């Protein structure tokens, strides 16, 4: 058996460090602006899709309901 004091120490593994150049203020600002425009675009696209879906449902509902010529109903949605 060998004493732990007489053993040769193992060599430590080296650390590899990569130095990254920080972004300038203009690059960071452009990323924020493009991100906000993308988020606003997604909201607009979602609103358009929901509006088209709602309009389709209303169109189908009104077309299937039909109109009774003998009806005295004067309620109209313009």
3-state helix, strand, coil in the chain (%, to 5): 55, 0, 45
Does 37 map to a domain?
A: yes
In a domain, 43, yes or no: yes
Q: Is residue 69 part of a domain?
A: no
Place of tokens 């309009």: 55
pLDDT above 80 for 76? no
48 lies in a domain? yes
Over residues 32-75, the pLDDT tens digits come to 888 899 999 999 999 999 999 999 999 998 888 766 666 666 66
- Let me know if residue 46 belongs to a domain: yes
Does residue 6 lie within any of the structural domains?
Answer: no
Instruction: Answer whether residue 50 is part of any domain.
Output: yes
Give the closest residue to 61 by CA, choosing from 53, 69, 73.
Answer: 53
Compare 66 and 14 and report the one with higher pLDDT: 14
Is 5 among the domain residues? no
Separation between Cα atoms, residue 35 and residue 23, nearest integer Å: 16
Q: Which two tokens stand for residue 44?
A: 């607009």
pLDDT: which is higher, 68 or 17 = 17
User: Structural domain of residue 36, as residue ranges?
Assistant: 29-64
């Amino acid at each position: 058996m060998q004493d732990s004091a007489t053993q040769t120490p193992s060599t430590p593994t080296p650390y590899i460090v990569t130095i990254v150049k920080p972004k300038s203020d203009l690059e960071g600002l452009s990323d924020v602006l493009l991100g906000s425009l993308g988020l606003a675009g997604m909201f607009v696209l979602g609103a358009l899709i929901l509006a088209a879906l709602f309009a389709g449902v209303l169109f189908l509902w009104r077309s299937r309901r039909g109109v009774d010529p003998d009806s005295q109903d004067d309620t109209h949605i313009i």
